[in-house]
Amino acid sequence: MRCRVPVIILALLLLPTATPAWAQNGLTTGALNLKSTFDNIGIRAAFTGDANANATATVQFRKVGDVTFKNAFTPVIDHRATINGTANPGANEGRLSIVGLTPGTMYEVVWTWSDPDGVTGTNPRSGTISTLSSTALTISESWVSITDGTCGGHAPCFSTIPAAITAAVAGTKIRVMPGSYPPLTISKSGSAGAGYIAIVGENRDTTFITGGSSVTSNITMAASASYVQVKNFRLKPTAHNSVVVGANAHHLWFENLYHEDVHGAGTCTSGDYDDAGFFFSDGTHEIFVINNTILGTWLLTCTVPGTDWDQIVNGIDMYGTSAIGGFVIKGNTINGGFRDCIGDGGETWGDGFRDNSDIINNTVTNCKDDGIQMEGEDMNLRIGGNNVDANRGNSTMAMAAHLVGPVYVYRNVFYQHGNPGYCGKMYENTQGYGFFIHNTCHAINGSDGFSGGGNANGNPFDNFYNNIIVSNNICLDTFASTSKANGNLYQCGAYFQSWGGSSYGSVAAFRTGTGNEVNGKQGNPLFIDVQKHIDATSPAFNAGIIIPNFNSLDSAWPYAGVAPDIGAFEVGGALPPIPPTAPIGLILQ
């Protein structure tokens, strides 16, 4: 007997095999990648699937040994294959930074995915990582004295720094006694396990690197250098740079260096555009610039042809392409006529500090263009706790463009009162995730608060929470309808310009028209001092929203009242950095 297969069944058998829709929409977990700095941890969590982009994630963390986990901020989930026509280096990742941590401490991190269409693979994903120790590892000591052949009785004793470096091994601290030493090139390395080669002046203000008009830089770190610390020196003016770091060098630590007058022995020529106090070349990574004073007195008198952004010399400059990340620019005072006090080279792909970097707790003033310029494809970049006084420049902070993200801009004081400009400039087709949390922006002389005005409809991924924004012009200019704002206090000439294509003349109108600012307020913040503190009479007092890891009671900045205060500082909390006193001979204009 002949068996017949029904036509409909045969047709189904002949259909090509396809992945069911539920499987495409479901999420499959990938590797969890953790990187740390002294104060923060950056997280990148890979995934596949989630074609309908409805997956979410939560993150918790704790010190290893603690019983209780803390909640982190909400991660971004990035599905974009391309950004502005360029391949997205963060495609199919969740990303997040955890901020305000303790240096030299081991943390446990737990990432948990959630997807209505199902999650396969290891979930939750967890890992441990230590934040960096605030002390460079050394084991042995040697000494250098250019004036005393016995090094005060210490041994081994050398008469030059290069001789001590030649004799050093990983883990050697070279202690340099007071005196004037010639510029030096360092090409030797320590190691991750055995420790740094640390070159440490005994007294910063009496241990000099001599500089001079024929000198290109005081300290040159060769491309072969790694795991080297230079600390406690006073750097005299040179014809170009104070410190230059060669391509691909890494794990370099510069601390408590006093740059007397960057480029002060040079000439005022546009050919010196790339000069800097610290200049970092292609491929550099894990670079720590901590508690330095970088002055540019002579640059205040130098003007080359062109605009403010054509001027020469940056305070700290990442101008090369292909930087890998791990930069920490922390606790520095930068004061003088630099183009950008902290900056990178261009305004597109190939620029920025890239992955897992910090620009925190710096005091910046007198820059000609931008106080902090950080533009490119940064991911897990933290810009926090800075005091930026733009008394002559165009912006306190430029992120034109920030292309990938997330970038966290938090608890900064931005005072824009030089040229008509911006507290935050986000032009050049910015498309990155940006979170602006607990900043105080005071913009006068026709300046705006935060502006994405270079985009037709603004960046769709910028978010503003618990900021004080004072401007005698526009407070928030040109952002997409998908951007978010809540818990901010505004006092503006014009309030919201072209938010999703519409403009709003008050917080109430903005709330009604967009659904944003459920907790937003309008009014005078009543600053009580030049640092932009408030007190209990301010409408910003006890008026913010609770944000995990940024103001929650278990964070580094716990709120003190019934709710967080809006702005950079909590009433009764720590004082902000005090703007630096101008050095002798500095010309203020």
What is residue 15's predicted lDDT score, i.e. its pLDDT?
43
How sure is the predictor about 374, in pLDDT bands with cuts at 50, 70 and 90?
A: confident
Say what the pTM is.
Answer: 0.93
Cα dihedral: 88, 93, 99, 103 (round 10)? -100
The secondary structure of 113-177 as a DSSP string is EE-TT-EESSSSEEEEEEPPPSS----EEEEE-SS-TTGGG-SSEESSHHHHHHH--TTEEEEEP
CB 129 within 8 A of CB 107: yes
More confident residue, 147 or 453: 147
Is the pLDDT at 179 greater than 90? The verdict is yes
The domain ranges of the chain are 24-130
More confident residue, 522 or 324: 522
Q: Which range is least confidently modeled, 15-24, 221-230, 283-292, 489-498?
A: 15-24
Average pLDDT over residues 450-479: 85
Residue 584 burial class via C-beta count within 10 angstroms: exposed 0-12, middle 13-18, buried 19 and up: exposed
Q: Give whole-number Cα distances, 447 to 142, 377, 401, 412, in Å.
A: 54, 27, 19, 17
How crowded is residue 477: how many other Cβ atoms within 10 Å of its Cβ?
A: 23
- Cα separation of 454 and 462, whole Å? 14
CB 517 within 8 A of CB 511: yes
Cα dihedral: 317, 318, 320, 321 (round 10)? -150
Please state which of the four CATH numbers 1.20.1250.20, 1.20.120.1730, 3.40.190.170, 2.60.40.10 is assigned to the domain occupying 24-130.
Answer: 2.60.40.10
What is residue 428's predicted lDDT score, i.e. its pLDDT?
64
Average pLDDT over residues 458-483: 91
317-328 pLDDT, tens digit per residue, is: 986 556 678 999
What is residue 345's predicted lDDT score, i.e. its pLDDT?
64
Q: What is the DSSP letter of 63?
A: E
